Structure 1
C-alpha cells in the first residue's frame, strides 16, 4: 500500500512540471499573437489615416481651384458692371444735358431783329448740349437795348459774366462724355462751389461722385455721393447717390458700411429702381 502511494506521488511530481511548461508556452504564444495583432491594427490605422489625409489635401486643392475661378469670375463681373454703369451714366449725362437746356430755355428772350453785321440771336436749343447752353450766355446788345445819343456810354454799364452756369455745366458734361475725367472733376466741383443753389447743383454733385467712381477713387466718391443726400435728400439723384455710395464702400471692402447704405436705400426709397439693386447687393453680402 505504501509503495502504491509513493508511486502515485512520484508520477504527480513528474506531470506537474510538464503541465506548467505547456501553460507557459501557450501564454507566450498568446502574447506573441496579441503583439502581432496590435502591430497589424496600428499599421492599418496609419495607412487609413494617410489615405484620409491625402484625400483631404486633394479636396482642399480642388476647393482652392474653385475659389480662384469664382474670384476671377466675380472680378470679371465687377468690371463688366463698372463698364455698364459707365456707359449708362454717360448716356444719362447726355440726356440730362439736353434736359438742362430745355429747363433754362424759357428764360431765353424771343428772337429779335439782328443788328446789321451781327449774327441772328436764336432762342431755340441746339442738338449739342454745349452749344445749346452756350447760346443762352449773354449776347451783344439788341436793337431794343441799343444806346441812344442821350444814354450813358456802354463802358459804364455793369460787367456781364463771360459764361453762364449752364455753359459751365455743359462743358463739364462734355468732358465726362469724352472720358476727360480730370476736367470733368474740376468742372463739376467748380460748378457746385460757384452755384450751390442752382437747380443743376445736385446733378453736378452726383456726377462729380460718379466721375470719382469711374476712376476708382472710391474714397472721394463716397464723400461726393454722401453730399448729394445731405444737400437734398428729396433730389431725384439722392437714391442713386446713396446706392453708389454703398457700391463705393463695397469696392473698398467696407462691407458693414455698404450693408448700412443699401439698407438705407430700401428704407428711404423703397419704390425707386435703386432699391432693387440695393436689395440684390444685400443678398450677395449675406
Structure 2
C-alpha cells in the first residue's frame, strides 16, 4: 500500500514537472510560426512595393515621351516664327546678274573642237546600276522611322509610316506607342473626327497604357474643339479624378479654367 502511494506521488510530481515544458515547447512553436508569417508578409510587401515602383516608372516614361514631343513641337513653332520674321524684314535679293557679266564680251559662236567631240560619252553606253541593299525592317526600327517624321513636322509621312507599322506588326512591342502617336498626329493636323476615333480605339485596346491619361486628355481637347463642351468637361474632370497630382491632371484643370472664363 505504501509502495502504491509512493508511485502515485512520483507520477504527480512528474506530471507537474513535464506540463510546463510541454506548454513552453508549444509556445515556442507558435512564436516560430508567427515569425515565419511575419517574414512572409514582409516579402510580400516588398514584392508589391517593387511592382508598384515598376508601374510608376513605366507611367513616368510614358509621360516623359509625351512631354518631350510637346517640347519639340514648341521648338519647331518658335523656329518657324523666327524664320517668318526674318523673311518679312529681309530685303528682296538682287538679281544674280551683275554689271560685270553684262559688260563681258560674249563670242558670236562657239566652235566644237575635235578633242571635245572625242571626249563626249557615248549616249548608247549604259552604266550598270548598283545593286540595292535591302534594309532590315522590324517593329522598333519602323517605329523610330515613323516617329522621326513626326518630330520633323512631316505629319502626312508620319501617318503613312505609323499605319504601315501597325499593319505589319499589329502585336509588336511598339504597336501601343505607334497607335498613340498616330492619333496625336491626326490631332496635330486638326483632323479631329479621325483623331477622336483613333484615341477611342487606343483607350479600348490599351487600358493599362502609361499614355492612357494623355489619350483621355486629348479626347477632352477634341470635344472642346468640336464645341461639345459637356463631353469635354466630363472627360477633363475624369482625368483630374483618376490621375491626381500629375502633369496630365494639371493640363486638364487649365483647360477647365479656360472653359469657365469663356462661360462654357
**Higher alpha-carbon Rg:** 1
Higher RCO (Cα < 8 Å, 6 or more apart): 2
TM-score after normalising by structure 1: 0.43
